[in-house]
């Protein structure tokens, strides 16, 4: 009974944060709302007796991923855009898809409520932290290391792409590229001028 009440509290908080995520025009406020969704999901995982997944949810998603998202928002320096009037039909499509998702959620709730409950032995569950750690660093060591190297490459690539050149250096790079392509007449073109 208590776990059901806690589930509905955390699920309601996740839904409220999700609505706030879509509603705000400022991307930074949307990122903070997404952190609220991640935290409420980790609380739901705790009520489901999955503490490792809850900790990973907080550390990886609410911590590392959201820090990267906030850094990208700051690097791009996004300003508040005015809404485009030509895309108003998307509100109707979004509302229809939202109703379909709500109907799907009610169907899943109905289907789960008809399934008989079985007692779970927490000592023998597969998702224990010890068994996950042993599997990660014995059987799945190579994929874990590959993911680590790929994340390192993504960080280096992000730093290289986000590096800002000063204006004369940027003009020099564009002029050299136009020289290589033998397009010298386009150097004074307004589309490539700074």
User: Residue 112: what pLDDT?
Assistant: 75
Do 34 and 106 sit in the same domain of this protein? no
Q: What is the dihedral of CA 82, 86, 91, 97, to 10 degrees?
A: -120
**Residue 41 or residue 105, greater confidence:** 41
Label residue 187 by pLDDT band (50, 70, 90).
Answer: low
From 61, 92, 117, the end of a domain falls on: 117
Considering the chain, what is the average pLDDT of its residues? 77
Do 51 and 21 sit in the same domain of this protein? yes
Do 30 and 52 sit in the same domain of this protein? yes
Q: Which of 60, 68, 67 is nearest to 39 (CA)?
A: 60
Do 52 and 87 sit in the same domain of this protein? no
User: Residue 190: what pLDDT?
Assistant: 45
CA 44 – CA 49 distance, rounded (Å): 9
Assigned domain for 162 exists: no
The answer on pLDDT for 10 being more than 90 is yes
Assigned domain for 33 exists: yes
Tell me: the pLDDT tens digits for 112-154?
Answer: 778 777 776 666 655 567 777 777 788 888 888 888 888 888 7
State pTM to two decimals: 0.51
**Residue 14 or residue 139, greater confidence:** 14
Q: Which of 39-43, 71-75, 113-117, 166-170 has the lowest mean pLDDT?
A: 166-170
Tell how far CA 53 is from the center of its chain.
16
User: Residue 82: what pLDDT?
Assistant: 57
Assigned domain for 76 exists: yes
CA 84 – CA 9 distance, rounded (Å): 36
Assigned domain for 156 exists: no
From 24, 55, 81, the end of a domain falls on: 81
Do 7 and 37 sit in the same domain of this protein? yes
Assigned domain for 51 exists: yes
**What is the domain extent for residue 87?**
83-117
CATH number for position 33: 1.20.120.1200
CA 157 – CA 173 distance, rounded (Å): 19
**Residue 134 or residue 184, greater confidence:** 134
Q: Which of 14, 19, 15, 64 is nearest to 39 (CA)?
A: 14
Q: Is the dihedral of CA 70, 163, 155, 22 positive or negative?
A: positive
CA 193 – CA 167 distance, rounded (Å): 11
Assigned domain for 35 exists: yes
Residues 170 and 162 sit within 8 Å (Cβ to Cβ): no
Assigned domain for 142 exists: no
Tell me: the pLDDT tens digits for 147-156?
Answer: 888 888 877 8
Do 12 and 36 sit in the same domain of this protein? yes
User: Residue 156: what pLDDT?
Assistant: 80
Label residue 165 by pLDDT band (50, 70, 90).
Answer: low
Residues 31 and 70 sit within 8 Å (Cβ to Cβ): yes
Label residue 83 by pLDDT band (50, 70, 90).
Answer: low
From 94, 117, 140, the end of a domain falls on: 117
- Please give the DSSP secondary-structure letter assigned to residue 98: H
**Structural domains of the chain, count:** 2
Q: Which of 15, 16, 23 is nearest to 83 (CA)?
A: 23
Assigned domain for 36 exists: yes
């Amino acid at each position: 009974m208590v776990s059901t009440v806690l589930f509905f509290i955390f699920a309601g908080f996740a839904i409220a944060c999700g609505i706030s995520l879509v509603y705000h025009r400022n991307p930074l406020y949307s990122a903070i709302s997404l952190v609220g969704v991640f935290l409420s999901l980790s609380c739901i995982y705790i009520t489901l007796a999955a503490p490792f997944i809850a900790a990973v949810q907080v550390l990886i998603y609410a911590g590392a991923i959201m820090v990267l998202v906030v850094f990208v928002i700051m690097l791009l320096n996004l300003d508040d855009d005015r809404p485009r009037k030509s895309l108003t039909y998307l509100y109707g499509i979004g509302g229809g898809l939202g109703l379909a998702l709500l109907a799907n959620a009610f169907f899943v709730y109905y289907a789960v409520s008809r399934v008989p409950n079985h007692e779970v032995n927490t000592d023998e569950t597969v998702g224990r932290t010890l068994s996950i750690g042993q599997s990660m660093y014995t059987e799945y060591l190579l994929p874990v290391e590959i993911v680590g190297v790929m994340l390192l490459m993504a960080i280096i690539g992000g730093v290289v792409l986000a590096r800002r050149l000063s204006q004369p250096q940027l003009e020099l790079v564009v002029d050299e590229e136009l020289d290589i392509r033998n397009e010298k007449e386009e150097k004074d073109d307004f589309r490539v001028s700074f």
